[in-house]
Amino acid sequence: MEMDDHKRRRNMILYVLIAFALYLVLSQVLFPRLTTTQEITEVPYSTMLSDLDADKVDKMDYTAGTDNVALYTLKGDKEGTAYQTTVLPNSEDYLAQKIDESSAEVSVIIPSNDSGMWLYLLITLAPIIIFFLIGWWLNRKMKKAMGDDNPSMDFSSGFGGFGGGGGLGKSGARIVASKDVGVTFKDVAGQEEAKESLKEVVDFLEKPERYEAIGAKLPRGVLLVGPPGTGKTLIAKAVAGEAGVPFFSISGSEFVEMFVGRGAAKVRDLFKQAKEKAPCIVFIDEIDTIGKKRDGGGFSGNDEREQTLNQLLTEMDGFDNKKGIVVIAATNRPDSLDPALLRPGRFDRRVPMELPDLAGRKAILEIHAKDVKTQPPIDLTAIARATPGASGADLANIINEGALRAVRMGRSRATQEDFEESVEVVIAGQQRKSTVLSDHEKQVVAYHEIGHAIVAASQKEGAPVTKITIVPRTSGALGYTMQVEQDEKFLTTKQEVLDKLAVYCGGRAAEELIFGEMTTGAANDIEQATKLARNMITRFGMSEEFGMMALGTVQNAYLNQDTSLTCAPGTAERVDDAVQKVIFDAHARALQILRENKFKLHELARYLYKKETITGEEFMTLMKRENPYMPKPQQQ
How many other CB atoms are there within 10 angstroms of residue 516's CB atom? 7
Residues 313, 265 contacting (CB under 8 angstroms): no
- The CA distance from 622 to 161, in Å, is 78
Q: Are the C-beta atoms of 532 and 545 separated by less than 8 Å?
A: no
Structural contact between residues 44 and 85, judged by C-beta atoms closer than 8 angstroms: yes
Secondary structure (3-state) at 46: helix
The bridge status of strand 69-74 relative to strand 57-63 is antiparallel
Please give the DSSP secondary-structure letter assigned to residue 163.
T
- For the four alpha carbons of 289, 290, 292 and 295, in that order, the dihedral sign comes to positive
Backbone phi, psi, residue 363, to 5°: -65, -40
Q: What is the C-alpha separation between 274 and 255, in angstroms, rounded?
A: 16
Q: Taking phi first (over 0 means left), then psi (-120 to 50 degrees means alpha), and beta for anything else, what does residue 355 get?
A: beta
For 38-162, strand residue ranges (E) read 40-42, 57-63, 69-74, 82-86, 105-109
Closest by CA position to 221, among listed 291, 308, 338, 325: 325
Q: What is the DSSP letter of 414?
A: B
How far apart are alpha carbons 31 and 118 in whole angstroms? 13
From the number of C-beta atoms within 10 Å of its C-beta (0-12, 13-18, 19+), residue 632 rates as: exposed
Residue 200, Cβ neighbours under 10 Å: how many? 15
242, 401, 449, 511: the active-site residue: 449
- Give the Cα separation of 612 and 601 in Å (integer): 15
Neighbours of 32 (CB within 10 A): 9
For the chain, the distance separating the N- and C-terminal CA atoms, rounded to the nearest angstrom, is 90
80/69 Cα distance (integer angstroms):
19
Q: How far apart are CA 464 and CA 485, in angstroms?
A: 7
Q: What are the angstrom distances between the C-alpha of 122 and each of 20, 27, 109, 465? A: 17, 11, 19, 88
* Dist CA 47 CA 43 (whole Å): 6
Contact 305, 290 (CB under 8 A): yes
Cα(241)–Cα(219) distance, integer angstroms: 18
Q: Is 449 a catalytic residue?
A: yes
573 CB neighbour count, 10 Å cutoff:
11
Peptide bond connecting 279 to the previous residue in cis, omega within 30 degrees of 0: yes
Catalytic site residues? 449
